[in-house]
Amino acid sequence: MNRNFKVITINGIRGMITLVFIVLGLIAGFIISPGWACMQIWNHIFENSNTIAIINLFEGIMLWTIIALVLYALNNRKPLIGFGSYQGLSPDQIKEIMDRARKSEVFKPVKDFEIMKKEPVENNEQTQENKEIVQEEQRR
| pLDDT 10s digits, 68-108 | 989 888 876 665 566 665 567 778 888 888 888 877 766 55
Pair (55, 24) in one structural domain: yes
Q: Is 57 among the domain residues?
A: yes
Are 16 and 71 in a shared domain?
yes
Residue 30 in domain: yes
Domain range holding 61? 12-75
| Residue 17 shares a structural domain with residue 65 | yes
Single-letter residue type at 102:
R
Tell whether pTM > 0.85.
no
> What's the number of domains the chain is made of?
2
pLDDT in tens, 111-137: 555 555 555 555 555 666 777 777 777
CA distance 92 to 85: 20
Under a CB-based contact definition with an 8 Å cutoff, are residues 86 and 68 in contact? no
